[in-house]
Chain A
Amino acid sequence: DVKVTQSSRYLVKRTGEKVFLECVQDMDHENMFWYRQDPGLGLRLIYFSYDVKMKEKGDIPEGYSVSREKKERFSLILESASTNQTSMYLCASSSFTREPDTQYFGPGTRLTVL
């Protein structure tokens, strides 16, 4: 079974803090993704990565950055958290070859910025 884990289920931070969200997958997947999920808006892609040290902007990258130093780990960074970044953050991974485009999701991190 593919397992995608996220470092925290719930997180509360203050405005202006630097926030790190960590994601780890154990299936040697090449691709990793960060989404945010908001009611009525579905999932929106923030950043993705198709290889170590590689990153590409998604649809809403503003205010976020990412890091992928190892194949299994993909970090989302909020440089200076703001209240409009309060959301559910979902990490996902997939393989180019084994199951085209099927993404495996972590349980999510619900981030509240006060």
Chain B
Amino acid sequence: AQSVTQLDSQVPVFEEAPVELRCNYSSSVSVYLFWYVQYPNQGLQLLLKYLSGSTLVKGINGFEAEFNKSQTSFHLRKPSVHISDTAEYFCAVSDLTGGYQKVTFGTGTKLQVIP
């Protein structure tokens, strides 16, 4: 069975400061990894994804994430945050379970950017 752990439920950070949102996963097979963002009163939208290849993945809005297989991590980073980055961020893992792809989401991290 696969699982995703987002240890930080809330992360406050000052505007223009760097931020890292942590994500660890467990799975017995090869996985795809995702970060989704949810702005207030909206559905989730894809921020970035790792399927294969380069372990450093760049996404929209200046975010990037690094896949670390040995540490089973997929942390999300941004060098300088903006007020508009205030949102909830979900890490997700997908693998082939029982013959079909199953996506498991973490519990989410609320990023609060302080002016």
- Contact surface of A with B, Cβ cutoff 8 Å: 4, 35, 40-43, 45, 50, 56, 90, 92, 100-108
Q: Are B43 and A106 in contact (CB under 8 A)?
A: yes
- Contact surface of B with A, Cβ cutoff 8 Å: 6, 9, 32, 34, 36, 41-46, 49, 51, 90, 94, 100-103, 105-108
Q: Are B107 and A41 in contact (CB under 8 A)?
A: yes
A89 to chain B, nearest CB (A): 10
Interface residues of B: mostly helix, strand, loop or mixed?
strand
A35 to chain B, nearest CB (A): 8
Q: Are A42 and B90 in contact (CB under 8 A)?
A: yes
Query: Considering only CB atoms, which chain B residue lies closest to A103 in the complex?
Result: B103
Q: Are A42 and B101 in contact (CB under 8 A)?
A: no
Query: Considering only CB atoms, which chain B residue lies closest to A91 in the complex?
Result: B43
10 contacts between A and B (CB under 8 A): A42-B108, A43-B44, A100-B32, A100-B94, A101-B94, A102-B34, A102-B46, A102-B49, A103-B44, A107-B41
